[in-house]
Structure 1
């Protein structure tokens, strides 16, 4: 019987704590960084911790792929008396093939929640600075992406429209194969919260 997603997260958390307490040591960690100046500045102890965690996380990802253990966790978004529960990839895990299909299947419910919650809010494309946009433009983005995620503060909604590899979609370097467009819905101008 294989470990569950929750058990893998618990194991990763225990390993992370052990590494930061100095209980996990990689003797060759400084050899793994191609920049000797950075390696010297960080020191072998910190490098050892970082690479020990990185190596263990990769072993967990390999285990997930071999045993088809999902990297998804269920997130609940609450906004103005409404709530929705939807899947999202945990940042410490990797996505297996079925995870992408689960994300895609949840898109319609996330978009419906977002549309029902909009009211009279104005829309912005996330960025520095945020750029005003229209509902028509956001609808085109919705139709051209594979899955959606949503988050909220007390007064703002954050819609993420994603495609490609769930592990890489938030990384700008992954474009155009993977990506994520972020939309902010706010009464006036968006706050300075980074989405």
Structure 2
């Protein structure tokens, strides 16, 4: 029997708790961190917990790839009385090749939800100093990206237009192979919430 995505999430949660209770010990932490000053400041005990969990999570990722177990979880997003369910890669799992296809297949319904929700709102490129965008620029981004994600607050809607590796697309170091344009729809200048 192959473990399901939810079972792997539960196993990882149990393992993380065991590691932080000190029930998992990794003796070879000194050679894991290249900076001896940071290593000494953090302490061998905490490093042991971090690397024990990291090693276990790497084994789970290998299991996912070998047994074709998805790393996606589905969650709702609600805005202005509308709700959509969309997939995202769980933070402790990895994306398998089929997951990228699932993300891409959900793009059209996410974009439709976006279009149905942004009437009367201004569009902004997310960043330290948000820049206002026109609808044509956002539509060009939509056409050139592989999949989309969406999240909301009470007054703002956040669209992610992503490409590349689903696990790395939000990391600046992965650009340009992987990335994500973050667009904010807001009545006025967006809040200081980081997306």
Query: Same fold, TM exceeding 0.5?
Result: yes
What do residues 16-44 of structure 1 show as CA deviations (whole Å, max 9, x unaligned)?
00001111110111221110000000000
Structure 1 residue 32 corresponds to structure 2 residue 35: no
Partner of 1:58: 58
1:164 equivalent in alignment to 2:164: yes
Which residue in 2 is equivalent to 1:184?
A: 184
Question: Please, what TM-score do these two structures have when normalized by structure 1?
Answer: 0.99
C-alpha distance in 2, partners of 1:34/1:86?
Answer: 39
Work out the number of aligned pairs and report it: 195
Q: Distance in 1 between matches of 2:30 and 2:188?
A: 49
Q: Paired residue for 1:113?
A: 113
> How much does 1:75 deviate?
1.3
Q: Secondary structure at the match of 1:29?
A: coil
- Could you tell me which runs of 5 or more consecutive residues in structure 2 were left unpaired when the two chains were aligned: none
Q: Is the 8 A contact 1:30 1:48 kept in 2?
A: no
Q: Which residue of 2 aligns with 1:85?
A: 85
* TM-score normalised per structure 2: 0.99
Name the Cα RMSD after superposition: 0.5
Is 1:132 aligned with 2:129?
Answer: no
Quick check: 1:73–1:90 contact (8 Å CA) kept in 2?
Answer: yes
- The CA distance in 2 between the partners of 1:129 and 1:75, in whole Å, is 29
SS in 2 for 1:158: strand
Structure 1 stretches of 5 or more lacking a match?
A: none
Match of 1:10 in 2: 10
User: How many angstroms apart in 2 are the aligned matches of 1:180 and 1:24?
Assistant: 36
Give the 4+ runs in structure 1 shifted more than 3 A.
none
Q: Distance in 2 between matches of 1:7 and 1:184?
A: 34
